[in-house]
């Protein structure tokens, strides 16, 4: 079962429609229940919105456990995990957005706002340069164009987790991977055939 995490951070319809192309609707569960998240074979963690509000929603208890607890336990158990946009930001230790709010801390580093650029947010199609191989981009060529909309980007301390970069005023990480955890700054569900192939690759992970 693929669990798409619902933590009140944006419209989930587009990501669910993209995932169900390859998995079938019967194999997808949209949930904010920590127990259901823990039961997932794969987790998709989308998000659009404010870092601080999102982390507060994740920290709310549902019974004995919060979504934050469930996500960290699933990651610890090596469940394949895909964080998209804000979902990737929340994997970091902290963010400048919302007064240096604390994140999940799965990846060391923080989230920073674009500096010295002409316009924020960075919005539209931009190319992704792959720095190393990753299962997410299996069968996909380098320097493909994908769809971005964001004012902040991740700033990992460990450069080894950075799989792909893009450029907006300067180069910034836009694809990360740490063992079973993957993150994309762009929205694969809004990125045409290439984006759908990335989702398919994630679904097919063992």
The predicted-structure confidence for 59-105, as pLDDT tens digits, reads as follows 998 888 999 999 999 999 999 999 999 999 999 999 999 777 899 99
**Per-residue pLDDT, 206:** 67
Cα 50 from Cα 30, distance rounded (Å): 20
Helix (H), strand (E) counts: the chain: 7, 15
| Least confident interval from 91-100, 108-117, 134-143, 160-169 | 91-100
**Per-residue pLDDT, 24:** 82
Q: Choosing from 138, 187, 200, 204, which is the catalytic residue?
A: 187
**Per-residue pLDDT, 13:** 87
Closest CA to 105 of 75, 80, 63: 75
2-203: which CATH number, 3.30.70.3270, 3.40.50.720, 3.40.50.880, 3.40.50.2300? 3.40.50.880
Stretch 34-56: mean pLDDT, rounded? 94
**Per-residue pLDDT, 92:** 97
pTM: 0.95
Q: Is 27's pLDDT higher than 80?
A: yes
**Per-residue pLDDT, 23:** 84
Closest CA to 185 of 194, 172, 198, 174: 174
Stretch 97-125: mean pLDDT, rounded? 93
Q: Is there a catalytic annotation at residue 85?
A: yes
For the four alpha carbons of 74, 75, 80 and 85, in that order, the dihedral sign comes to positive
- Token reading at 126: 């931009």
Cα 82 from Cα 194, distance rounded (Å): 16
| Least confident interval from 15-24, 34-43, 106-115, 164-173 | 15-24
Q: Is there a catalytic annotation at residue 36?
A: no
Q: Is there a catalytic annotation at residue 187?
A: yes
DSSP 21: H
Q: Choosing from 73, 85, 89, 129, which is the catalytic residue?
A: 85
Q: Choosing from 97, 153, 174, 189, which is the catalytic residue?
A: 189
**Per-residue pLDDT, 152:** 97
């Amino acid at each position: 079962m693929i669990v798409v995490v619902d933590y009140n951070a944006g419209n989930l319809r587009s990501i669910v429609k993209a995932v169900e192309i390859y998995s079938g609707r019967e194999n997808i569960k949209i949930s904010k229940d920590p127990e259901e998240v823990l039961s997932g074979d794969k987790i998709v963690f989308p998000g659009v919105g404010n870092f601080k509000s999102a982390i507060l929603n994740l920290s709310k208890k549902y019974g004995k456990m919060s979504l934050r607890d469930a996500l960290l336990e699933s990651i610890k158990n090596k469940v394949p995990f895909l964080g998209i946009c804000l979902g990737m930001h929340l994997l970091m230790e902290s963010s400048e957005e919302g007064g240096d709010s604390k994140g999940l801390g799965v990846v060391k580093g923080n989230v920073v706002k674009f500096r010295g650029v002409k316009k924020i947010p960075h919005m539209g199609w931009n190319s992704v340069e792959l720095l190393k191989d990753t299962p997410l981009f299996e069968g996909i060529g380098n320097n493909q164009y994908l769809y971005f909309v964001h004012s902040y980007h991740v700033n990992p301390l460990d450069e080894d987790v950075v799989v792909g970069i893009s450029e907006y005023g300067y180069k910034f990480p836009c694809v990360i991977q740490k063992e079973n955890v993957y993150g994309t700054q762009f929205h694969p569900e809004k990125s045409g055939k290439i984006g759908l192939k990335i989702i398919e690759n994630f679904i097919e992970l063992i």
